[in-house]
Amino acid sequence: MSTTRRELLALASGAAVGAATSGAVPALAHDSGPDGWVATWAAVPTTIPSRGTPTVLDRQTVRSVVHCSTGGDELRIRLTNEFGETALRIGAVHVALRSGDGASTATVPGSDRRVTFSGHGAATIPAGAPLVSDPVRLRLPAGGDLAISVFFPERTTVTTLAAFSYQDNVIANGDVTAARTVTATATLQQDLFLSGVAVRKRGGGAIVTLGDSITNGANTVANLNHRWPDLLAARLRSAGRDLGIANLGVSGNRLLHDPNPPAGSNAETFANYFGVNGLRRFDRDVLAQPGRRFLIVLLGVNDLGHPGTVAPPAEVVSADDLIAGHRQLIARAHEGGLAAFGGTVLPFKNDTLGFYTPENEAKRQQLNRWIRSSGEYDGVIDFDKAMGDPADPIALHPAYDSGDHLHPNDAGMAVMAAAVPLRLFR
* SS3 sequence of the chain: CCCCHHHHHHHHCCCCCCCECCCCCCCCCCCCCCCEEEEEEECCCEECCCCCCCCEECCEEEEEEEECCCCEEEEEEEEECCCCCCCEEECEEEEEEECCCCCCCCECCCCCEEECECCECCEEECCCCEEECCCEEEEECCCCEEEEEEEECCCEECCEEECCCCCCEEEEECCCCCCCCCCCCEEECCEECEEEEEEEECCCEEEEEEECHHHHCCCCCCCCCCCHHHHHHHHHHHCCCCEEEEEEECCCCCCCCCCCCCCCCHHHHCHHHHCCCHHHHHHHHHHCCCCEEEEEEECCHHHHHCECCCECHHHCCCHHHHHHHHHHHHHHHHHCCCEEEEECCCCCCCCCCCCCCHHHHHHHHHHHHHHHHCCCCCEEECHHHHHEECCEEEEECHHHECCCCCCECHHHHHHHHHCCCHHHCC
Q: Sheet harboring 243-249: ordered strands across? A: 243-249, 205-211, 292-298, 339-343, 379-381
Alpha-carbon distance values, 187 to 47, 49, 258, 376 (Å): 19, 20, 29, 44
Closest CA to 8 of 346, 409, 422, 424: 409
- What are the residues whose beta carbons fall under 8 Å from the beta carbon of 50, sequence distance 6 or more? 261, 268, 271, 272
Q: What is the pLDDT of residue 27?
A: 40
In whole angstroms, give the CA distance from residue 92 to residue 176: 9
Domain positions in the chain are: 5-31+204-424, 56-196
Q: What is the pLDDT of residue 16?
A: 43
- What are the residues whose beta carbons fall under 8 Å from the beta carbon of 388, sequence distance 6 or more? 346, 347, 394, 395, 396, 397
In whole angstroms, give the CA distance from residue 298 to residue 327: 13
The CATH number of the structural domain formed by 5-31+204-424 is 3.40.50.1110
The answer to whether 371 and 385 are in contact (CB under 8 A) is no
Q: What is the pLDDT of residue 3?
A: 57
Mean pLDDT by 10 residues, the chain (426 residues): 58 52 44 76 97 96 98 98 98 98 98 98 98 98 98 98 98 98 98 98 93 98 98 97 96 98 96 98 98 98 98 98 99 98 98 98 99 98 98 98 98 98 96
Q: What is the pLDDT of residue 13?
A: 62
The answer to whether 134 and 118 are in contact (CB under 8 A) is yes
Closest CA to 167 of 70, 269, 68: 68
Residue 424 burial class via C-beta count within 10 angstroms: exposed 0-12, middle 13-18, buried 19 and up: buried
